[in-house]
Amino acid sequence: MDCSPVSVEENRLESLTSWDADWSKLRVVVTGISKTGFSVADTLAELGAHVVVVAASDDDEARANADTLKIVGVQEVILGQDTSWVLPLVDGLPAELVVTSPGFKPSHPLLAAAAEAGIPIWGDVELAWRVRTKAGRKTAEWITITGTNGKTTTTTMVESMLQAAGLRAIAAGNIGTPILDAVRDPEGYDALAVELSTFQLHWSESLAPVSSVCLNLAEDHVDWHGSFEAYAADKAKIYENTKIACVFNAEQIETERMVENADVQEGCRAVGFTTGVPSVSMVGVVEGLLVDRAFIAERKDSAAELATMSDIGDLVPRHLVANAAAAAALVLAYGVTPADVRLGLQNYHTGDHRIQPVASSGGVLWVNDSKATNPHAASASLASFKPVIWIAGGLPKGVNFDALVQEHAKRLKAVVLIGADSSALASSLERHAPEVQVIVTRAEGGRHADADTLRGDAVMAEAVGIAASLAADGDTVLMAPASASMDQFSSYAHRGQAFINAVRELLESQASADKES
């Protein structure tokens, strides 16, 4: 019999599959102390584990969180960039488990040390799945959503459809409510709409959702994963162990291949979604109607109406239709009715910073899509408008912009570049759209800093002013950066709000000037 320490630890971890399992005195290192790390440490302390938290942050918020965690029973909190690189002991002994926050790359020295020592590494989602079942509390089914783009929209659509069916449901995971907070809700939920990033999927092994989807796949987060192939492999994990339906994008063969290669539960179906006319076992669009040819008995020669385009919204670009079709397939697999799908879409609000019309003045439409943090997302926005004055740039995350520029060069009237270093995007524009006017904001250089919170606002005000000087009747000014925001803004939401504020101030100033004249 193998009685090595690693074998014993692994056997114990295998038994930890419910809240009521014996988690007491399990030695755990938790990385991170923000929303995810805090929820992990708080949960483990409640379970009786012995926890040490390690975080690079050492600001007021981190120290306040540390104080709270110590009150609830966390053994030790170690803060500071220098100390976050070292794998600490717990109770003077090596950890039996590391639970990591998504921001820590697999190559991070602490995680690399854990892997080398044979210490299992989980993410918060893996922990949440294992503790989801508790005596006396409702156990929710999970509907899981990933993709390079459209995750949040599809997840919140699923939430709205489930709630329209009268179910107690919430969107959680890589969106809003931490998954562990949702799982620990005293009353419990009927279903969870769980948005999962590749970071979270990378550290997840045990999930068995009722239905799952990878909405699309494009180059993103190569800096975290190390390669596009590794990124795609983590996305594909969304389908593993699915019980009822693996939903795939019928317009992107890569997602169908993921389903074909997935190890699913017996009886699980492959269901496609499309923005065109659906084949059998798909949800799609016929003559302006969202229709189902997957979950009806007569699917071989007919389709059931789910909703109209007006049920989805006033401004319905193609990718929003795709999101609605995917969401419908996911909830129909769960057992929601077509009437609930329609009502869920009617109740749904797209949300801020996602192809959000901000203003229309002088025949010019101003649109905020700050959530377009990569080329694939920006492509969906650009495809919806023409001609476009495009405000773009930011932190590129190691991606290539050539395909994006090549695809949309003909719809670009001008480009206004923001970002601390948008040289990669500028180079793509020079090569593939040489006739398009490109203007770089003077405030381009320099990172956003807490001590200078107006810097990003000043950058955006300048960009909006330049765009206004170029715009004419029939144009759309689209802020879809195709890059992350953290070089000049605190978040994509800050960037989007800066755009909204700048547009409103500009139009108010113009209106005031017109009155005076």
**Cα–Cα distance list, 247 to 144, 210, 261 (Å):** 10, 11, 13
Distance (Å, whole) CA 370 – CA 354: 7
Strand partners, 484: 395
Please name which of 379, 375, 420, 381 lies closest in space to residue 398, comparing C-alpha atoms.
375
Binding positions for ATP: 147-153
Q: Strand 289-292 to strand 304-308: parallel, antiparallel, or no bridges (unpaired)?
A: antiparallel
Distance (Å, whole) CA 342 – CA 334: 15
Distance (Å, whole) CA 273 – CA 251: 8
Binding positions: 147-153
Contact 313, 350 (CB under 8 A): yes
H helix and E strand count, the chain: 19, 20
Please, what sign has the CA dihedral across residues 223, 225, 229, 231?
Answer: negative
**CB within 8 Å of 118: residues ≥ 6 apart:** 6
